[in-house]
Chains A and B, each alone.
Chain A
Amino acid sequence: MADVEDTGRVLMRMYVANDSAPSTQARRQLAVLRQRFGGEDWEVDVIDVFEQPALAEADRVLATPVLIRLFATRRLSVIGDFADLDAVADALDLDQEVVP
């Protein structure tokens, strides 16, 4: 996975739990996050834990929704419906906010 970081791409995985209220809200907030932080090119896999529990197991997911940013040697995670997008961006080491 070393190339992930080298090419400067942002690779993320978001686990949601079907259409629960926090998961629905998180999908919306993800779209806003991409808008505000220049995420047009991010690769984000959105995975429903109930449809793909084996993937949730492999990533040892407990809480949902959870947004995981994958790096070559580490990962950063944020849990919740991403109420505070600045904090989310900060925790995931995303670039400076794009000023429109």
Chain B
Amino acid sequence: MSPAARERIQTGIPGFDEIVHGGLPRGRSTLVAGATGTGKTVFGLQFLRGGAQLGESGVLVTFAERPEDLIANVESFGWDLGGLVSEGRLAIVDATPDTELLVSGRFDLGGLTARIAHALSEVGGTRLFLDPIDALFEGFSDVVEVRRAFTAMLRALRPLGATALIAAERPHENGSVTRYGAEEFAVDNVIVVRNVREEERRRRTIEVLKLRGADHHRGEFPFVINAISGIEIVPFSPIEGDDSGSAERISLGNADLDAMCGGGMYRDALMMITGATGTGKTLIGLQFMVAGIRAGERVLYLSFEESRWQLARNAAAWGMDLSGSKNNGNLEIVSRYPARVGLEDLLVELKHTVEEFNPTRLVLDSITAVEHNSPQNAFREFSVGLSGYLKARGVATMMTTTLPDLLGGDHATDLYLSTIADAIIALRYFDLDSQVRRAILVLKVRGSQHASEMHEYEILSTGMSVKGPIRGIAGILAGLAQPSASANGGASVFEP
């Protein structure tokens, strides 16, 4: 059978099947290697439970923990393994070894082989999880002999056709894949799970090292373990993306802005609004939101700096009513203080929110709030991952970033976000003649002609009002506004 033709089975681990292009090859064996506490057991139990949900029974072979302890440990996920056992969809083989044993001469694992085969036939099992095999090695002094016996057992079980996961300890995060050289077993596939400290925080990743005869995505994929799904791969990389861009334009909710952008923004675009505090980023976000509601769209507003109440109050000041009666349930406002949760957890949570509410527009105000207290590379992954996910889903997204300085300047966040964003609007204060004024510049609109000049704008009680282009002043974007040489010493001059 060619690799492409080999049937894949869904693991039941959200996001993992995409990494291996559709699931694990049926009937093959996979080593899941990781240090203590990396989530190997959860991975395997989720695989068995996922199978049970698809009508595939399974067998759990436990070498270290007693079956009742394992069952109790995953009750917090809402997994009722005991129930699966009584329904005949799961069999558990207790393979915790006796410690006081004399070994004299050669042996094999015939007893265990027979018991596993028996359990598989009892429940009609097609999935098998051995967890973790190290305890077996610890029960015998001759590691080479156990490894040989274990390999023989895997070979003997192979004709039964079960798809097998084998958990094995890694002594360290770096170095050999497993403690007892389990990678030398005749396994088809090797997966490594990690839980490493990175700049004061833990980070879990999963990596497929080998997938026999089949292609897979390379590299480490972050994952979380949460109470909803168990293990869930964080959608940091847009694995399944639709590159066909939309030609449809949607309104930003402000005629002046729409005109500056060449007629609104594309339906599947990501627009970034960057500016210092008070420049009106939230206002632009709210206008974008209202335009969506008016068009009958579903809008998700993620507020990372203000509470729902504060946001509603600010909106009311501009004459916008965020109360439920006005929007027919098409508006969802989620307020989060992201410093309290890990970025991986936050991203997974946002993904769940997006999947449940299914918005066509989304405002994220502001992504800078996420950056505080986060390591730079983790934040970078988060923002790239989130925007990639939203783009792949085709959600029209407006993301604000807050500049640290009141007067212009660049910011690292903007540098890499700007490569992802399809459109960028920069808002700047500038002061001239003891007056602080506001300037707006459309830096980029992918696939469109747009205004290239800096315009002055005002924030009125009715919202944002864009005045004419600014002439005769240079350096606003960099926060160094001064009359330009060509302007003959005059102050700002607007187009008539």
Contacts and interface: CB of A to CB of B under 8 A. Distances in A.
A64 B109 contact: yes
B111 A54 contact: no
Interface string A37-76: 0000000000001100110110011111110000000000
B114 A79 contact: no
B106 A17 contact: no
A53 B117 contact: yes
Residues of B contacting A: mostly: mixed
A91 B94 CA distance: 24
Given A29-B105, A56-B114, A91-B104, 20 more contacts: A17-B111, A18-B110, A20-B108, A25-B105, A49-B115, A50-B114, A53-B118, A56-B111, A61-B111, A63-B109, A63-B110, A64-B109, A66-B107, A66-B111, A81-B104, A81-B105, A82-B105, A83-B105, A84-B105, A88-B102
B104 A80 contact: yes
A50 B109 CA distance: 12
Most buried by A among B94, B101, B107: B107
Given A53-B117, A62-B136, A88 B110 contact: no
Interface in A4-22: 15-18, 20-22
A59 to B, nearest CB: 8
A51 B406 CA distance: 81
B110 A78 contact: no
B177 interface: no
Contact of B107 (A22, A49, A53, A56): A22
Given A57-B93, A62-B97, A87 B104 contact: yes
Nearest 10 pairs of A and B residues by beta carbon: A17-B110, A61-B111, A83-B105, A53-B118, A64-B110, A80-B105, A49-B114, A81-B105, A91-B102, A80-B104
Contacts, number: 110
Interface in B110-127: 110-115, 117-119
B95 interface: yes
A66 B102 CA distance: 10
A64 B152 CA distance: 13
Contacts of A57: 93, 115, 118-119
Interface residues of B, number: 28
Contacts of A96: none
B415 interface: no
A62 B103 contact: no
A25 B107 contact: no
Contacts of B355: none
A88 B115 contact: no
Contacts of B105: 22, 25-26, 29, 80-84
A62 B109 contact: yes
A77 interface: yes
Interface in B247-266: none
A34 B95 CA distance: 30
Contacts of A25: 105-106
A78 B118 contact: no
19 contacts: A22-B108, A23-B110, A25-B106, A49-B110, A49-B114, A49-B115, A53-B118, A56-B115, A63-B107, A64-B109, A64-B110, A77-B101, A78-B103, A80-B104, A80-B105, A82-B105, A84-B105, A87-B104, A88-B102
Which of B96, B97, B103 has most A Cβ within 10 Å?
A: B103
A53 B101 contact: no
A79 B112 contact: no
Interface centre among B108, B119, B140 (most CB of A within 10 A): B108
Contact of A17 (B101, B113, B139): B113
B104 A61 contact: no
Contact of A83 (B104, B108, B115, B140): B104
A79 B94 contact: no
B98 interface: yes
Given A53-B117, A57-B118, A77-B98, A62 B112 contact: yes
A81 B109 CA distance: 13
A46 to B, nearest CB: 13
A80 B106 contact: yes
Contacts of A20: 108, 110
A81 B105 CA distance: 5
Contacts of B140: 63
B139 to A, nearest CB: 8
B149 interface: yes
Contacts of A22: 105-108
B106 to A, nearest CB: 4
Contacts of A29: 105
A81 B106 contact: yes
A61 B107 contact: no
A64 B149 CA distance: 10
Given A77-B98, A79-B103, A82-B105, A53 B110 contact: no
Best-buried of A22, A57, A81, A88 by chain B (most CB within 10 Å): A57
B118 A79 contact: no
Contacts of A79: 101-104, 107
B104 A63 contact: no
Contacts of A87: 102, 104
B459 to A, nearest CB: 75
Nearest to A90: B102
Contact of A63 (B93, B112, B119): B112
Contact of A81 (B94, B107, B110, B117): B107
Contacts of B113: 17, 49
